[in-house]
Amino acid sequence: MAKNKLDPQKLTGIHKSAIFLLYMGEEYTTQVFKQMGNDEIRQIASAMAEIDEITPEILNAVTQDFVTIYEDRDRLIVGGGNFLKNVIGKSLSAENAKQLFKEVEESKREQPFKWSHNINTATLTGYLKSEHPQTIALILANLPPEIAAEVMVGLPEEKKGDLAIRIAQLGQVPEEVLRDVDEALKIELSSIGKGGGRGGGIPVLVEILNNVDKATEDIVMESIEEEHAEMATEIRQLMFVFEDLNAVDDRGMREILKKVESTQLTLALKTASEDMKNKILSNLSSRAAEMLLEDLEVMGPVKLSDVEEAQQQIVNAAKELEADGTITLGGKGAGEILV
């Protein structure tokens, strides 16, 4: 069975908690679980069930203490499944434990079209060009947003607006239909994957549009505005763009800037508003702000597409920080960080 690889840069608070408890052992975890509610146990148990191994790099991401203990080991092998059975069996009643195991097993099922991470996007795009628009919309709605965005960019321009509307209007799709589409597609593309999936809707379309290039976004939005003005307004209200980072509080902005290369930041500010520039400069050290202004002054002409790409990468970094609970976009203040 293939191992589940954890990315130390994308560990959620739940995964960090699961790794810590796996390291601490069954007796300690049993006592912790007794202090938790079923929902909390369910979340951590689901995360534990996904973990096959903990590498030194992962341990370092969770706590520096693990580096000292395991710096000479290639990896720490953990039996997440057996560990869970022993701990939950000691923590909950037989009936509750049985129900929780059932829910954990269901949560381990792969997300729809998860195999798309390992396929050439151009190949997928080429195959979809000949499919019925409704089928394309269904697939795009269930692909990871960044992959769906790449596919959308590669599709004929005359199809993009229609596909966007279909995605926005797509309701919940029966699981069996999604399974059939998923199975047929992965067979055609000689890939491996399985799972159910989600429907479409405006939030799904917004996720995709937040990852496409500006030209594709303009084509899609113009088409939607012509046929569905109210829908276009709703989409624009939900879309998060570079300038929206101006609403992030100063603590959150400093967290974002830690993940951004100086050259990337300089390029992103090429077309930024004065408010956005001031927001960023005020959250840099005096020396860093001075160097950034100097770099902006000497920067020659650059492609607009390069500027937009740099801005989107910063937006993506912000969204990753929001996803793991480090910051909250929209200026509402950061949530607690669970380590």
DSSP letter (8 states) at residue 116: G
SS (H, E, C) 207-250: HHHCCCCHHHHHHHHHHHHHHCHHHHHHHHHHCCCHHHHHHCCH
Instruction: Report the relative pairing of strands 76-77 and 53-54 from DSSP bridges.
Output: antiparallel
Torsion of CA 313, 317, 322, 324, to 10 degrees: 140
Measured CA to CA, the distance from residue 338 to residue 138 in angstroms comes to 36
For residue 1, count CB atoms less than 10 angstroms from its CB and return exposed for 0-12, middle for 13-18, buried for 19 or more.
exposed
pLDDT at position 280: 93
Measured CA to CA, the distance from residue 36 to residue 30 in angstroms comes to 10
End-to-end CA distance of the chain: 29
DSSP letter (8 states) at residue 326: S
| Whether pLDDT at 305 is above 80 | yes
Please answer whether residues 258 and 264 qualify as being in contact, where contact means their C-beta atoms are separated by less than 8 angstroms. no
Instruction: Pull the structure tokens for residue 333.
Output: 């203040």
Q: Residue 144 in 3-state DSSP?
A: coil
Ordered domains of the chain (ranges, CATH): 13-107 (no CATH), 114-238 (1.10.220.30), 242-323 (1.10.220.30)
Instruction: Pull the structure tokens for residue 71.
Output: 């710096």
pLDDT at position 199: 56
| Whether pLDDT at 76 is above 60 | no
What percent of the chain has a predicted confidence (pLDDT) above 70? 73
| Whether pLDDT at 106 is above 70 | no
Confidence class of residue 110 from pLDDT cuts 50, 70 and 90? low
Measured CA to CA, the distance from residue 316 to residue 110 in angstroms comes to 24
| Whether pLDDT at 115 is above 70 | no
Beta bridge partners of 76: 54
Kindly report, residue by residue over 3-37, the tens digit of the pLDDT: 456 676 677 777 877 887 787 777 778 877 877 77
Please answer whether residues 138 and 200 qualify as being in contact, where contact means their C-beta atoms are separated by less than 8 angstroms. yes
| Whether pLDDT at 94 is above 70 | no
75 or 244, greater pLDDT: 244
Confidence class of residue 257 from pLDDT cuts 50, 70 and 90? very high
Mean pLDDT to the nearest integer, 301-311: 87
pLDDT at position 223: 87
Confidence class of residue 289 from pLDDT cuts 50, 70 and 90? very high
| Whether pLDDT at 256 is above 90 | yes
Mean pLDDT to the nearest integer, 292-299: 90
34 or 261, greater pLDDT: 261
63 or 304, greater pLDDT: 304
34 or 159, greater pLDDT: 159
Kindly report, residue by residue over 201-217, the tens digit of the pLDDT: 787 788 788 777 777 88
Kindly report, residue by residue over 176-199, the tens digit of the pLDDT: 777 778 777 777 775 433 333 455
The candidate with the shortest Cα–Cα distance to 20, out of 52, 58, 49, is: 58
